Structures are given as C-alpha cells and as structure tokens.
Amino acid sequence: MIPIVLHHHEHWNGNGYPEGLAGEEIPELARVVSVADVFDTMVSPRPYRAVMDPQVVRDTIVSDSGTQFEPRVVEAFERVPDEGFTPSESQEELLTDV
C-alpha cells in the first residue's frame, strides 16, 4: 500500500512527484489511484474552489492521457458508463451555485 500512496502523484511523463518516476517505473496501482484521485478531487467540493462538472473532469483526464496519466488506465476510465459520472444530489446543488 505504501508505494501506491507514495507514488500516486507521479506523472506518466515523469513530471510528477515525489521521485519524478515515469511510465512503467510508477507502480501500476498508483497509476490507477492517480486517475481516481484526480477525478474525486475535482468533482468534490473544496474550500478553495467550486465543484466541477463530472463530464468536464472526465474530458480533462482524457486530454491528459499520455502526459499525466497512463493511456491504458485512461482507456479503462473512459469505459465507465456515463451514469458513473452523475453528480450526487449534494454535488448537483453545488454545481447550480457555480
């Protein structure tokens, strides 16, 4: 578990942290958690910004395939049905306030 937590901020192209790992050097599950973490962070309310629309976040992740994220992980992420990206009622209320 420690390598997953430690390396989930590494980027596929080597521009992440803490060690600047790239590609296959990044533990496989850390690559998966990276996509999940970014999605969750962007669609969840934060004190410093409003909730983002899940489809916008999905498109952002897809556009970062091959740079921030491993392409195979993004391809799997794209196969999640659209209903998997439907905001909860509390998130929907926050989206209307944006």
Is 17 among the domain residues? no
Q: What's the CA gap between 74 and 65, in Å, rounded?
A: 6
Is 52 among the domain residues? yes
Q: What's the pLDDT at 81?
A: 80
Is 58 among the domain residues? yes
Is 10 among the domain residues? no
Q: What is the DSSP letter of 39?
A: H
Kindly report the pTM of this predicted structure. Answer: 0.83
Q: What's the pLDDT at 65?
A: 98
Is 9 among the domain residues? no
Domain count of the fold of the chain: 1
Is 34 among the domain residues? yes
Find the angle CA(29)-CA(71)-CA(87) to the nearest 5 degrees. 75
Is 32 among the domain residues? yes
Which tens digit of pLDDT belongs to each residue from 30-82? 999 999 999 999 999 889 988 899 999 999 999 999 999 999 999 999 998 87
Q: How far lies 1's CA from each of 11, 51, 63, in Å?
A: 18, 29, 28
Q: What's the pLDDT at 4?
A: 97
Is 16 among the domain residues? no
Which residues span the domain enclosing 39?
28-96
